[in-house]
A and B are shown apart, each in its own frame.
Chain A
Amino acid sequence: MSVWVLRAQAENTFANSNCGFDAVLGPRGSQLQLVLNSIFHLEASPGTIPGNTAAMLKRNPLTRNAVKDAIPIAVGDNYKGYRLVGTTSAIFESHEYAEGKKFCLAGQGSWFDEGKKEAVAGSFAAGKLGLEVGDTFKPYHGLTYVETSQHEDVYTLVGILESTGTPADRVIWIPLKGIQTMDGHRDDLQDDISALLITLRSKKAIVMLDPMFNKQGKDFTFASITPVMTQFFQKFSWFEKVLELVAYLVGISAAASVLAILYNILNEKRREIAILRSLGARRGTLVSIVILQSTGIAFLGVLLSFGFYFIVASAATGIIREQTGVVLDLFKFQEVFIWVPAGMLALGVISGIMPAVVAYSTEVSRNLAPTS
């Protein structure tokens, strides 16, 4: 059950954890890498694109009508392993990371001033780094924390975001110019950005933009977030099938064990069955008791499996949140919550049938030894 729920939750949550964006426009390369880097803040950056790309989208009538908003980001630095993402204040002021939800500050603080060396930390990053509003820090070069690669620039944390349950929680947001002009970065790339995070006026526009950039053009990669993530998870479908098979085998083995145990117990307890019959117990009553017993064992198994599921799923959720910022909802209803327990109970009933036959067919007089 853990396998099914976690996979379904992860696929669904990742495919929809788009921070309110529909697509990403970045340098030529892998769509998956572009999405992972720009939205989930994972993987290496695939490169840069010109800083005037957003303006280019506005000039072109086709893209102008299709694109509602395009927010630039630049990456390339970190603070103790947590990424710094350069962007504009538009992401806080006008962008909705989920329907009807804008980023909010937790407690006191403010958004960064684009002209200053100021930062706004995601809630998870701030918590892990122990950062508070007013703290200063010096970023490190690269996306991986290397102690010796510290920049000289000093940033002041001016705000901490309220938790959003999205990858935005585990990065530190600074002004776009901050990344572009960070001490030690190449001067010739100072106007470049890593990607444009795009919100479309209509999802239908993907049909037009995808071939426009990916087939007719050669400078950019356009990645529609949900399809890319769905395809990504589909690559693991074979693994899911293997796990599914293992889960079936475990279920069948468990049922076989219940059957063997009950069958042996009842074979040994033929005398007790005979005693109960001599006291007036009907065959049907004993059959019901045996079936109830096996179903009870299965029910206990269901309870234990739910307990085990919540332990495993909680641990997995914690790891996924730490690594990606994405929060899985363990309690969200899944069909598997119905059919796995139902399947286990059905196996319990089935595994009780053979022992029930033993109970039904026990000869009372033969098992009430001795005779006189």
Chain B
Amino acid sequence: MPLLEIKDLVKSYPSPEGGMLKVLDVTDFSLEEGAMVAIHGESGGGKTTFLHLIAGILQPDSGSILFEGRELAGMPEFERDRLRATSIGYIFQTFNLLQGFTCLENVLLAMGFADGLDEGRAREMLVRVDLANRLDHFPRQLSIGQQQRVAVARALVNKPSLVLADEPTGNLDPVNKDLAVELIKGICKENGAGLLLVSHDPKVVSEFPSSVSWETMNNILAGKDEPA
């Protein structure tokens, strides 16, 4: 059974002119357990919406999202919250660290919404991303690359079965970009987590064994479906 299986997924937003604007229409997509897939495509094409739908942050207009055999579409919000806390790790382009909390606290916070705090595990993750001497630093005291590593530690601390990475290298310089991709892939592999990474950077995408074009996946962009 695939880790993630998507069928006929459609999502629209209210348009400024009134009515609804269809931004996403994916007929079929699946991800096997522990698989690593990169989706490449230009910015503004609905890739973040796609990840938000998988994370249960948004609900689709129609279609099916089966995650670990459970249907996300129509699942009560509190169950999706729980799933996001325990089984899905999310890495953002802008890292989305909480500025008022230290590195350790940022990682602990993610544990607080899952199965409880385990400071040892949080420290272990930060050591794993080479931030052993930055535990008590605040995000503003870290370099961009270091902030990205905190975000990676936070996303993986609960040992999720799926990691979603939305342009995780978008704010990084070339050296840190390579390191970040290697780190994310490495830790996902160690944990046996599936990884779905979205990027507009061909170099990043080329480092993945499997990749798919968003322009091909999304029927709207592929011209198979006219915006409503």
Residues of A within 8 A of B (CB): 271-272, 275-285, 364-365, 368-372
Contact = CB atoms under 8 A, between A and B. Distances in A.
B73 interface: no
6 contacts: A279-B85, A279-B154, A282-B77, A282-B78, A365-B49, A372-B166
A372 B84 contact: no
B44 A280 contact: no
B50 to A, nearest CB: 10
B167 interface: yes
Interface residues of B, number: 34
Contact of B86 (A277, A280, A369): A280
A interface: dominant SS? helix
B81 A372 contact: no
A372 B58 contact: no
Given A371-B44, A372-B43, 4 more contacts: A277-B81, A278-B92, A283-B77, A364-B57
A166 B154 CA distance: 68
A368 B96 contact: yes
Given A368-B92, A372-B48, A281 B113 contact: yes
Interface of B: 43-45, 47-49, 52, 55, 57-58, 77-78, 81-86, 90, 92-94, 96, 98, 109-110, 113-114, 154, 166-167, 170, 198, 200
A280 B82 contact: yes
A281 B109 CA distance: 10
A369 B85 CA distance: 20
Given A278-B57, A278-B96, A279-B85, A372 B44 contact: yes
> Which A-B residue pairs are the 4 nearest by beta carbons?
A280-B85, A371-B48, A280-B113, A280-B84
Given A278-B57, A285-B113, A372 B77 contact: no
A244 to B, nearest CB: 40
A280 B78 CA distance: 9
Nearest to A367: B96
A231 B167 CA distance: 79
A276 B44 CA distance: 24
Contacts of A284: 78
Nearest to B95: A275
